[in-house]
Structure 1
Amino acid sequence: MLAALALFAVLDANSKVLSGGYHVSQVLAFRYAVLLALLGAARLARPRAGGGVATRRPWAQLLRSAFMVGSGAGFFLSLRELPLAEGYLVYFTAPFMLLALFRVLLKEPVAATAWIWCGVGFLGVLVALSPGLSAGGAWAAYAWGLMGSFCHAMVLVMNRSLRDEPGMARVIFWSAVPALPALLPWAATEWVTPSWGDAAALSANGVLAGGATLCLASAFRHASAGRLAPLEFSALVFAVIADVTVWGVWPPLLVWVGAGVVTFAGIMAQRRTG
């Protein structure tokens, strides 16, 4: 779960840079084409690498793919208009959605401590990000962010539902094959020929998204939403690390305090939440 969130943090930063010059359909189509190319190359080098791709639940796999597209599009369109801080604040509604969806759709019990530590984590995010929030905001961008958060939560629900169908190849295949044909006609109408540098960045999005997808699918095969949802807030910690190590930007004290609260909530959730 933590590896997935670290990959998503890098993916979000990369996508925000790309959003200035490319349409969402082209970015997502590039992402899924890279995923399929990597899977194909792996299976050419070693037949059946990653396991089989057959599924007993094609409709569930298609639903997960649709929610993945919705999540990617929602976050891309939101972060195109909003500062990362505000975009992340909208994203951090996802853990609460996740707990509710697991309880309603999968009938899995959710301990009260899971809600408590999610609340503590969200408080840490508010402490960290409140000084940087703008007075106004683009409501359409907030709406896209909420859509992306809901779709992200539904992807995690589907990961848990499909935990009896593990395997790298199956996850990648059923994520990309339904999405790519749906995106390509739209991408063709909005196509902008990328420079070599941008082509590398677009390809990197596919690698990052693929790695995060595999990590999430693995996480929800092994643990409940109650244990994993509070860890979503650790994305703030990864954002702080990226600011310091990549851009050399040292966040103000409140960001460090908020990151500490988020880390504490995540650790306590693992100790106290079933």
Structure 2
Amino acid sequence: MRGPLLMLLALALFAVLDANSKVLSGGYHVSQVLAFRYAVLLALLGAARLAVPRAGGGLASHRPGAQLLRSAFMVGSGAGFFLSLRSLPLAEGYLVYFTAPFMLLALFRVLLKEAVPAAAWGWCGVGFVGVLIALWPGLSAGSSWAAYGWGLFGSFCHAMVLVMNRSLRDEPGMARLIFWSAAPALPLLAPWAAAEWVTPSWGDAVALCANGVLAGGATVGLAAAFRHASAGRLAPLEFTALVFAVIADVTVWGVWPAAPVWVGAAVVTFAGVMAQRR
């Protein structure tokens, strides 16, 4: 159960990250938020390695091209979800995000030649039905198509990050993962962030730094999960993010879900549990 448990932990951290990013999206440009995120990740890694030499393992990679590709998809995923959730409610944005498990299974089958059991497709379908039950009554007819487009782009990039995690499982180590995720992206984002810079308050500065901590924890959790389990086992668990989105809506914005949301969440949870039993 190590892989599924790591996956659930990563999804919980991503939900908190998305809620935090949605709060920040009202006052800050995506480039500044992402630049802060990667700067914090590198600072934490540097501090850890100063305190404990070689903490987290080595930094060198035998596959730098693949590491750079994963970094690019991570930036795309972060930017896509940030721009999508800026205009959509968190739960509605997650409806678009839940196309990722289907993309993930297809990409694993095509790119990595991994067998995907029919049961995995079936329980992904059940989970998606649960999402529709939960969110259909609240879908706003006037939502921006651009926001949905950014959500689909972020979902595809997210699925590609998971594919790269699986293909790079022969290069373990927290330090290598964080370094190759953040170091290539920060120099590209920094000039853009400087051009769009808004000086944050102390509270917002803490929230911006927290984005880096949350993103780092979620990234490490995802990479570790796909070293221990296959896509067929983990992909259906993506739908449990709906539960975390509901918790965020209640605790951050005080929005209590309607009855269909609870029904849908129950279906999603059931699908995830049955996928694990299979």
Equivalent runs, 1:173-184 vs 2, <5 Å: 173-184=179-190
**Which among 145, 156, 166 is matched to residue 162 of structure 2?**
156
Distance in 2, Cα, partners of 1:82 & 1:249:
14
SS in 2 for 1:229: helix
Distance in 2, Cα, partners of 1:107 & 1:173:
28
Indicate conservation of the 8 Å contact 2:32/2:193, yes or no. yes
The AA in structure 2 aligned to 1:48 is R
Residue 245 of structure 1: how far off its partner (Å)? 4.7
TM-score normalized by the length of structure 1: 0.97
- Residue of structure 1 equivalent to 2:4: none
The AA in structure 2 aligned to 1:15 is S
Residue 253 of structure 1: how far off its partner (Å)? 1.5
Q: Which sections of structure 2, spanning at least 5 residues, go unmatched? A: 1-6
Distance in 2, Cα, partners of 1:153 & 1:33:
24
Distance in 1, Cα, partners of 2:200 & 2:210:
13
- Residue of structure 2 equivalent to 1:269: 275
Which deviations, in whole Å up to 9, do the C-alpha atoms of 1:200-251 show, x marking residues without a partner? 0000000000000000000000111100000000001112233445555432
- Residue of structure 2 equivalent to 1:83: 89
Residue 82 of structure 1: how far off its partner (Å)? 1.4
Distance in 2, Cα, partners of 1:35 & 1:81:
27
Bigger shift: residues 213-222 or 125-134:
125-134
- Residue of structure 2 equivalent to 1:100: 106
CA RMSD of aligned residues (A): 1.0
Which deviations, in whole Å up to 9, do the C-alpha atoms of 1:92-129 show, x marking residues without a partner? 00000000000000000001111100000011111111
- Residue of structure 1 equivalent to 2:264: 258
Distance in 2, Cα, partners of 1:165 & 1:95:
24
Which deviations, in whole Å up to 9, do the C-alpha atoms of 1:9-37 show, x marking residues without a partner? 01111101100110000000000000000
Equivalent runs, 1:87-236 vs 2, <5 Å: 87-236=93-242
Indicate conservation of the 8 Å contact 1:231/1:266, yes or no. yes
Distance in 2, Cα, partners of 1:249 & 1:77:
21
